Amino acid sequence: MKINLSNIKKAKKLLNKNECVAIPTETVYGLAGNAYSDLACKKIYKLKKRPKNNPLIVHYYNAQDLKKDCNFNSNFFKLYKKFCPGPITFVLNLNKNSQISKIVTNKKNTIAVRFPKHPVARNLLKNLKFPLAAPSANLSSKVSAVRSADVKEDFGKKIKFVLEGGKSSIGLESTIIDLRNKPKILRLGGMEISIIRKVLNKKITIDNNPSKISTPGQLKLHYSPGIPLRLNVKKIKDNEAYLLIKKIKKTKPNYYFLSKKGDLKEAAKNLYSTLRKIKKNKYKSIAVAKIPNKGLGKTINDRLIRASKL
């Protein structure tokens, strides 16, 4: 995609003044602010109506920039070399000299960091003197934004600027892995666990159980389209929208397909925008047909299960 440099300049100017700007990433859009500034980070929580105990992910251009704030280990280097920039977030220990705002980490000594791959986000990060704290650019507990229009739908004029970057190519949030001790997945995401496992060449535990508070954003209702959602449905009720992974021949106006042929990558990319579309089309509830529980299908199911907890 062609990068509009004057838009990046405008975003930079606002961020330098500790304002918030929405930025495109390959996973979902982020609501970004200077991660070294208490003021900017407070604005993020306020705009998103996000509980203060839910820490933010910090976005860096590269590992060199991260060095100032974090302690690395060999597992980090292995995964960084193979997958970054990309849809993976690392939980690490902050170092003593870190300038990261206490608002970002909820005063803890750990931090979640990631290196987004989207060319617009990379160009912006390269031009800044600070990393960007950026949660997903949606109202707290709702469906993430994968297009600039989604961000505007949620925040309207409250956001000073939305940096255009087209539709996010992955469409699901990053996979979060805690690397402080034995590698542990805290959130399923846009990067498949099987390929992470291959690189580390060891077992990885998955600990995204909502009853534990390691990653507060994984708790209870999340990713909600704002209307009830039922899973593994074979027979739909009157007035329900029907969400299917794969296009079928006998379609009806209330049928929505995540992909033509059941491709999980395509389905992931379309998931959030389709949920938003169904809500906009005034359906009162969503019935979801079974989605294969493999690869990215696991992440899609994870999001839909949380979205169904209304």
What are the residues binding ligand TXA (CB under 6 A)? Answer: 25, 27-28, 30, 54-57, 89, 91, 105, 110-112, 114, 134-136, 173-174, 176, 186, 214-218
CA 230/CA 273 separation, integer angstroms: 18
Residues of this chain that interact with Mg ion (CB under 5 A) are: 136
CB of 45 to ligand TXA, least distance (A): 10
- For the chain, the three-class secondary structure string (H helix, E strand, C coil) is CCCCHHHHHHHHHHHHCCCCEEECCCCCCEEEEECCCHHHHHHHHHHHCCCCCCCCEEECCCHHHHCCCECCCHHHHHHHHHHCCCCEEEEEEECCCCCCCHHHHCCCCEEEEECCCCHHHHHHHHCCCCCEECCECCCCCECCCCCHHHHHHHHHHHCCCECCCCCCCCCCCCEEEECCCCCEEEECCCCCHHHHHHHHCCCCEECCCCCCCCCHHHCCCCCECCCCEECCCCCCCCCEEEEECECCCCCCCCEEECCCECCHHHHHHHHHHHHHHHHHCCCCEEEECCCCCCCHHHHHHHHHHHHCCC
Shortest-Cβ-distance residue relative to ligand TXA: 217
- Of 14 and 111, CB closest to ligand TXA: 111
123 touches, from Mg ion, ligand TXA, none (C-beta below 5 to 8 Å by class): none
- Of 218 and 236, CB closest to ligand TXA: 218
- Of 218 and 259, CB closest to ligand TXA: 218
CB of 173 to Mg ion, least distance (A): 6
- Of 136 and 175, CB closest to Mg ion: 136
132 touches, from ligand TXA, Mg ion, none (C-beta below 5 to 8 Å by class): none
111 touches, from Mg ion, ligand TXA, none (C-beta below 5 to 8 Å by class): ligand TXA
Shortest-Cβ-distance residue relative to Mg ion: 136
CB of 191 to Mg ion, least distance (A): 16
176 touches, from ligand TXA, Mg ion, none (C-beta below 5 to 8 Å by class): ligand TXA
- Of 175 and 289, CB closest to ligand TXA: 175
112 touches, from ligand TXA, Mg ion, none (C-beta below 5 to 8 Å by class): ligand TXA
CB of 17 to ligand TXA, least distance (A): 21
CA 277/CA 300 separation, integer angstroms: 17
215 touches, from Mg ion, ligand TXA, none (C-beta below 5 to 8 Å by class): ligand TXA
CB of 289 to ligand TXA, least distance (A): 26
CB of 59 to ligand TXA, least distance (A): 6
- Of 136 and 299, CB closest to Mg ion: 136
- Of 7 and 136, CB closest to Mg ion: 136
- Of 113 and 244, CB closest to Mg ion: 113
CA 234/CA 10 separation, integer angstroms: 49
The answer to whether the Cα torsion of 139, 144, 222, 274 is positive or negative is: positive
Dihedrals phi, psi of 209, to nearest 5 degrees: -70, 120
Q: Which two tokens stand for residue 255?
A: 């049928």
CB of 94 to ligand TXA, least distance (A): 9
CB of 123 to ligand TXA, least distance (A): 16
